[in-house]
Amino acid sequence: MAVILGLESSCDETAAALVDSDRTIIAHKLAGQEEHHRPYGGVVPEIAARAHAEKMTPLVESVFADAGMTLADVDAIAATAGPGLIGGVMVGLVTGKALALATGKPLIAVNHLEGHALSPRLVDADLGFPYLLLLVSGGHCQILRVDGVGRYARLATTIDDAAGEAFDKTAKLLGLGFPGGPAVEAAARQGDSAAVPLPRPLAGSKEPHFSFAGLKSAVLRASDSGQYAPQDIAASFQQAVVDCLRDRLNHALDRTDRLPALVVAGGVAANGAVRAMLQDVAAQRDMRFVAPPLWLCTDNAAMIGWAGAERFAAGLTDPLDIPARPRWPLDDQAPPVRGAGVKG
Ligand code: KG4
Ligand code: ZN
């Protein structure tokens, strides 16, 4: 059994966790930065980096205190090395490198997306490879076939905005606050999802990808028209996202060999309407549906520690001069897609 220290700082959550290879989350801590970013309605990279720098070391100390452990009890140190906001990524990665150098323990540079992609296996010991993964977060919207640790085939990605980004921008437009996803979901519960006619970008398209930019513009027009209540716009927007996700998933499932499990990860997986749709698609396809608990869907360090445990078991450790990477696709063989804002 191996004990891994996981560190996460790629966006706006500073997090540290101790996880073992038997799937025990020994301790995990998280410091959000919502109050720092709320006045700007979005994550400000420089403010995020500074907050990570302030919070990372106390968080590491506090997970060890919670666990009643010291660095001597750890087998390896796993830190997110990208993709993400580079100043923040560097805080966690440099902390991980310093601890590895000081203790002589191996460093594991974790791709944040692999953290999300493997997180369902932390809570579900029966989830084996391969599985179909919908990865929906603030920075990414992808469908991947997960064949093993470090082995991903990207089947679809977004040609513009990520799904979470669309939620965040819609929340900002409607004045619902930050972070946007939970705010839109709460407003949508009070609204009528058929009230506002909104497009389903790329639904029915022959190509596999997602697009959400046109939806955002349509939300802006609906809001500016003054004809609709914000709750109705929120509900109609959420329904449009759910419909797009369903259409693109069915497109991918129609074109891949049958996979035993449909898995969701990333912050948008916390959305109840998204989960309900996925459950339905899985049932129709006779697939098992696996979704991590809500706290494990949004950014955290337990998933980084677990990805570290999976990589450590596979003998995958990294040199101390490994760089932080703002961009780092899971599938580096995936062909480029058209679109101005492609994020890999
Ligand atoms: O995975 P995550 O914590 O960070 C990234 O790696 O991006 O995802 C954050 C995203 C944000 O865009 C947030 O608005 C969205 O996940 N999100 C939600 C919900 N909770 C978080 N979107 C829709 N409904 C939610 N309940
Ligand atoms: Zn994330």
| Fold match between domain 3-118+296-313 and domain 128-295 | yes
Domain topology for 128-295: Nucleotidyltransferase; domain 5 (3.30.420)
Testing ligand 1's pocket by substitution, the residue of 167, 172, 189, 241 carrying the most ligand atoms inside 8 A of its CB is 167
How confident is the model over 198-236, as pLDDT tens digits?
999 999 999 999 999 999 999 999 999 999 999 999 999
Question: With 90 as the cut, is the pLDDT of residue 335 above it?
Answer: no
Q: Where are the domains of the chain?
A: 3-118+296-313, 128-295
pLDDT above 70 for 341: no
Predicted local distance difference test score (pLDDT) of residue 342:
52
Q: Domain 3-118+296-313 belongs to what architecture?
A: 2-Layer Sandwich (3.30)
Ligand 1 mean position to 303 CA, how many Å? 15
Give the tens place of pLDDT for each residue, 14-45.
999 999 999 999 999 999 888 888 888 778 89
CA 60 to chain centre: 22
Q: What are phi and psi of 76, to 5 degrees?
A: -160, 160
Checking if the pLDDT of 177 tops 90, the result is no
Contact 144, 117 (CB under 8 A): yes
Distance CA 240, CA 285 (A): 22
Q: Which residues contact 126 (CB under 8 A, 6 or more apart)?
A: none
Preceding amide of 83 cis, omega within 30? yes
138 lines ligand 1 (CB under 6 A): yes
Question: Percentage of the chain surpassing pLDDT 90?
Answer: 90
Q: Across residues 167-171, what is the average pLDDT?
A: 95
Q: Output the pLDDT for position 344.
A: 46
Place of tokens 């594991």: 108
Ion ligand 2 — residues with CB < 5 Å: 137, 299
- Residue 270 CA to residue 262 CA, distance in Å, equals 15
pTM, two decimals, is 0.93
How high is the pLDDT of residue 46? 87
What amino acid occupies position 181? G
Sheet containing 131-136: order of strands: 151-156, 141-148, 131-136, 261-265, 288-290
Mean per-residue pLDDT over the chain, rounded = 95
pLDDT of res. 40: 83
Residue 47 parent element (H or E): helix 45-67
The string of pLDDT tens digits covering residues 55-102 is 999 999 999 999 999 999 999 999 999 999 999 999 999 999 999 999
Could you tell me if 46 and 54 are in contact, meaning their C-beta atoms sit under 8 angstroms apart?
Answer: no
